[in-house]
Structure 1
């Protein structure tokens, strides 16, 4: 009888079936890879567009609005939004980010974030310092409020004393020879000691030092800027384009921290940071424009040893100088012209105080939020 073994007769069909199955599987994997690639490209393009749009919006402001508290809050918000989209890109490409060559990129970014945390803390110190100035400004404002009564010599003596205290408070800590320890309300930790709060309002409220006396904002910025170069073509290809958002986010981080140090009083401020972005990046033009405008403003203020480029700080310095000149020059009884000058200066001072009262808390919250976002990202990155 002929053999009834089916293996020989069925094996060619099995081989063909396996081959067809393999081809189909390969097509499915290829299709999935193409879909992943399309989604990734869309994410990368969206990220670049968001960065460009946000900084284009920030660059449209006039010189009178640039570096104001309101503008700085918008800058912090832009960083938070860009940071969140960058984080989403990394989470969607976790496997590739954790492997060579991107593992080195994530490590370098996490190292820069450590420096960013210090700058956030130092900026918080600077905001607290401005609050101390505000208290002196309010004393001056109250002392010289006429309430439709004749100005007395006692009012001017009180205003002069407050102006002297303000001048000392606005000196750099090293220049003032202060022996009080400058502490910072470290983010997330508050001192509940009522005695400490009552006697050291405006100084620090935490049990930990924010930055040491030898700490330098300028050095931190230089460290963050070091080795920050645009990715080369082979790096872009090797990382499927992911090298681009790393460079973009590093540049955004550097610019935002640099602007923060420029705006508020910081220990050993220094703004001589090179920020050269190739023109092929869509966000290059607005970021470069803002960098140039802020540097130009810095050159104007250097002559007066300004505490910071924040618009409201400039107003404080201007009002304080005018008020000091006025208080030192008046003679009693005041002439009608002198009374009008005092009242006008008090009005200007009132506007400055209102801007600081309304703006400092929201700005501090934004800086705190930046700090927390960075902390969360570092924890996720290390995990």
Structure 2
């Protein structure tokens, strides 16, 4: 971690040495340095978690918090230096960034459908919990009900290949009543869209086709993503650097969401090529490597998502399924005690899902709107 922090100074010098100072150069320089430092510190904190917490609901929420904060800070930099943002070559750099952002909107929609899939699994586990509740006598009818819910759960928790067919059904947008044509009209207007309600926007593709691919969408975001050239840094007074930083953060955040949550065609073999001279690149690349290693584990290779709570659902469902297959009635006292223990374990898993899924879904929706606000506010 100390090596990561040591790199921070070299990156700041890299930016500073390539800036052309205008009348407000010192103010801009401070903003750029602060932005780089904040991104670095946030990802260092994110990377400090143990493997048991990585890709948990709580960790994913922190990741999205970081994205929202960074995106809003970049938007403020654009606002403070609007005149420079509108000039070549900065206008082209910003336009390329917004094109990547628009592609991320579909991924937000796909992730939301994935969260709905996890919620369906949660509802099936609640049926099992209710059927085997020790507050009443467990009979053969309750056992059959639990078995049926567990069978449905097995169909819901399909592996990665099978998930593509299911997730192709429909991906809903977080906005309302606006078509793709509307978004393009907004994209090409400069005078009126600051006052439009975010609730009226839709994703570029509000309903994806059966051959839509999260992996291809990620590749599209990452295409031609490379650090700004020296002449671009000079010509933009360093403003090209935070755009590159935020583009890299956008790619990683979207990739991590697809890794964690069931999505249509969620292949994870995406190379994130970021030079290590930037202070924030070390923790970001470290997280990428750790998640990739987790995905290669035997028990995780065909998982529909790497979210820790999905792993807990799978483990809990397997144990409960083995248990109900051994139940004979009337229940012996020893077997009844085992049921009580497993039901208690199940209740802990459900509690974590209840506490984390809805807030995560709200944050994914907020990410969607933050991206739209960033485009609209320029």
Give the TM-score normalised by structure 1. 0.81
Report the Cα offset of residue 277 of structure 1: 2.0
Equivalent-residue separation in structure 1 for 2:85 and 2:367 (angstroms): 23
Q: Look up the match of 2:192.
A: none
Q: Indicate the SS of the match to 1:62.
A: coil
Task: For 1:1-383, list aligned pairs within 5 A.
Answer: 34-147=22-135, 150-171=137-158, 175=162, 182-189=169-176, 210-300=207-297, 303=300, 305-381=302-378
Most deviating of 294-303 and 254-263 = 294-303
Q: Which runs of 5+ in 2 are unaligned?
A: 1-20, 178-201
Equivalent-residue separation in structure 2 for 1:180 and 1:115 (angstroms): 18
Report the Cα offset of residue 209 of structure 1: 5.1
Report the Cα offset of residue 176 of structure 1: 8.0
Per-residue Cα deviation, 1:106-129 (whole angstroms, up to 9, x for no partner): 111111111100000001101111
Equivalent-residue separation in structure 1 for 2:357 and 2:166 (angstroms): 26
Report the Cα offset of residue 294 of structure 1: 0.9
Equivalent-residue separation in structure 1 for 2:356 and 2:87 (angstroms): 44
Equivalent-residue separation in structure 1 for 2:297 and 2:134 (angstroms): 35
Q: Which has the higher contact order (CA 8 A, sep 6+)?
A: 2
Contact 2:106 2:206 in 1 (8 A): no
Contact 2:125 2:350 in 1 (8 A): yes
Between the two proteins, the alignment pairs up a number of residues equal to: 332
Equivalent-residue separation in structure 1 for 2:166 and 2:36 (angstroms): 48
Equivalent-residue separation in structure 2 for 1:179 and 1:237 (angstroms): 49
Q: Which runs of 5+ in 1 are unaligned?
A: 1-32, 191-205
Per-residue Cα deviation, 1:68-96 (whole angstroms, up to 9, x for no partner): 11111111110010001111111222222
Larger Rg: 1
Change (3 A) 1:223 1:209: closer
Equivalent-residue separation in structure 2 for 1:232 and 1:209 (angstroms): 35
